[in-house]
Structure 1
């Protein structure tokens, strides 16, 4: 669409003004279109927020950043480690149980 960026501060101002002013008046005060005011207020009524929170898509990763950093340090110390050895080290040190193929894909 052809949206113009509206700051968080202005969006919060719209919500504050909504108890005392009409949509058109808020639009004039905030220098935005009435449609923008309606969109912000509708989002606020539905979610309690003035900005959309992105939905995380897909499955969460089995390895977090610390797990990956640990694996990388293991490989730096012993570059000829087998995947089953890395898997065992990760389980012992971090308590993360994963398949060897996950390690292979992640590195």
Structure 2
């Protein structure tokens, strides 16, 4: 969900400080929740600003650069390994113990494909 604009935040705070309306009336007028108005006023009291906090950036990746390098070495050693086999090799080589999804995401970041060879034999019919 996107943060409310700074302009709206400033107008809501100004309407609350004008004193002619209650917080629920201000919330109804600007089509925001009462809890948003309360949190906005609390932020203004504590920090002095109504600006939204910056995005935190999400969780830290489980496979850092060194672990991805180990994963690439495991794939180079056994190119047709399954995700579970890669997990075991990564843990055995001193890497972190992670799940299949994390290994899959690491392979995507390394731009490596899981499927290395065609599962059917080539056609006996010559091309041409």
Scaled to the shorter chain, the TM-score interval is 0.3 to 0.5
Structure richer in helix, relative to its length? 1
Tell me the TM-score normalized by structure 1.
0.45
